[in-house]
Structure 1
Amino acid sequence: MADGRKAALACIDVQEDFCDNPDGALAVKGACALTPIWNELLSLPFAVKLATRDYHPRDHVSFASQHKGKQPFTSTLKVKNPENEQDVFTTTLWPDHCVQGTLGCEYISQFARSKLTHSIEKGQDKRVEMYSGFGPPYRNPKFGMTEMEDVLKKEGITDLFVVGLAFEYCVKYTAIDAVACGFRTFVIEDGTKAVDQSEQNLTAVRKELQDNGVVLIKLFSLELEKIKKS
């Protein structure tokens, strides 16, 4: 890129359990149809091409099945920072998904994972929710962070382009954390889908991203044209 900038692509949680096929435990409508877009982006000359994946133990705190009387999608839970009980994050509870050792945990079969330079696993600690590829939402103190920030900074990345699943959860939190880590951050809307695809929800997520310094772009954007020509 011009002006000494260096770009990376982050494909967030493009896994079988999030794919809208008959076996997806937490299927996102329209997710599978995005695979050609992700693969096309992986063919561009990004300096780093990484993907994250949920890698949950069977008794993960985010599973509704672990909480008596709780229901997936509608129940919530306040989860404390293991190192500071006053630091609390409220999470939605989900069906069991992306369990280690299951097919649902794997990248979707059509995803061009051979083009990745890095693969980052998250959500292994059963005690905490982790939407962001950078780590759990706790900041007082930070707890259980992944290697994602170190990988990007070691490679001299200045700009991060984010796609994947799902728009209002792991994509959103990853993008917001990326800005906080000092990266100029873009979410490519054509390359992501939300769990709740109502216009009201999409509008709210876009505003939250923009309020936190994330730039929303489309596939045919000036920013991606610069990548293609680099």
Structure 2
Amino acid sequence: MATNNFKPALIIVDLQEDFCPPNGSLAVTNGRDIIPTVNKLLDLPFVIKIATKDWHPQNHISFASNHVNKKPYVDFTTIINPSNPAETYETRLWPDHCVQGTKGAELIHELDMSKIDKVVEKGQVKEVEMYSAFYDPLEKPRVSDSGLAGVLREKGVTDVYCVGLAFDYCVKCTAVDAAKEGFKTYVVGEGTRAVDPSVWEEIKGELKGKGVEVVNCDGDEVARVGKV
């Protein structure tokens, strides 16, 4: 039963040309197949509907092309907190993708932008990888924060529903951080695809351990939004 204190938000993660076949530089297999689910969700009365975008400078640290003798998908690099060299993490290297102002960085044309309330750009600091739409993994101090948590709180959001690309990277990290910020968080399974489909069940279990449920589009959790 829907109650007045249920205020759901929809976050559509990085549904950009570079992550989608047929021409994306970092195309996720069957990435475009999620469009009907995403558009169906956009028709529901979420209190706010947000699309996120990777918005990288050309010299971004996640691009293998910016490292000598490094290959995309295969190699990794160490991210160092510019303000605290003792804080580091490893990140996978990728083909150049979602470079600011390029066709590949655009949200896909099938997405009904008239129903999107806000676009959040992320990954703009060249020294830091930022999968999550909220902030990067660095904490001492934080380097990049999109302000997304504040936007959700201003709207009184209680529950967050995540879809987009890719399940095993940006969707996962966005959902984990939404739960960390205190929102009841779901990933709608039909509305996402993974870079590596073989890890689906592993990621699903990891999310469950962090308080995030992977649900079906025709399940009770999504149906509840329609009753707001």
Is this a same-fold pair by TM over 0.5? yes
Give the match for residue 114 of structure 1: 114
Q: Could you tell me how far apart the structure 2 residues matched to 1:87 and 1:213 are?
A: 26
Query: Structure 1 residue 143: deviation in Å?
Result: 2.1
Unaligned stretches of 5+ residues in structure 1 = none
**Letter in structure 1 aligned against 2:114:** S
Helix, strand or coil: the match of 1:37? helix
Count of matched residue pairs? 227
Give the match for residue 215 of structure 1: 213
RMSD: 0.9
Query: Structure 1 residue 113: deviation in Å?
Result: 1.6
Give the match for residue 181 of structure 1: 181
Helix, strand or coil: the match of 1:127? coil
**Letter in structure 2 aligned against 1:4:** N
Helix, strand or coil: the match of 2:226? helix
Query: Structure 1 residue 3: deviation in Å?
Result: 5.1
Give the match for residue 15 of structure 1: 16
Helix, strand or coil: the match of 1:52? strand
Helix, strand or coil: the match of 1:45? coil
Query: Structure 1 residue 163: deviation in Å?
Result: 0.4
Q: Could you tell me how far apart the structure 2 residues matched to 1:29 and 1:214 are?
A: 24
Q: Could you tell me how far apart the structure 2 residues matched to 1:208 and 1:139 are?
A: 21
Q: Could you tell me how far apart the structure 1 residues matched to 2:169 and 2:116 are?
A: 22
Q: Could you tell me how far apart the structure 1 residues matched to 2:104 and 2:160 are?
A: 27
Give the match for residue 139 of structure 2: 139
Query: Structure 1 residue 28: deviation in Å?
Result: 0.4
Helix, strand or coil: the match of 2:39? helix
Return 90-99 or 1-10, whichever deviates more: 1-10
Helix, strand or coil: the match of 2:41? helix
Give the match for residue 91 of structure 1: 91
Give the match for residue 128 of structure 2: 128
Q: Normalising by structure 2, what TM-score?
A: 0.97
Query: Structure 1 residue 179: deviation in Å?
Result: 0.8
4+ residue stretches of structure 1 with deviation over 3 A? none
Deviations 1:191-228 (A, max 9, x none): 00000011xx1121111111111111010111111111
Query: Structure 1 residue 87: deviation in Å?
Result: 1.6
Helix, strand or coil: the match of 1:2? coil
Q: Could you tell me how far apart the structure 2 residues matched to 1:90 and 1:25 are?
A: 22
Q: Normalising by structure 1, what TM-score?
A: 0.96
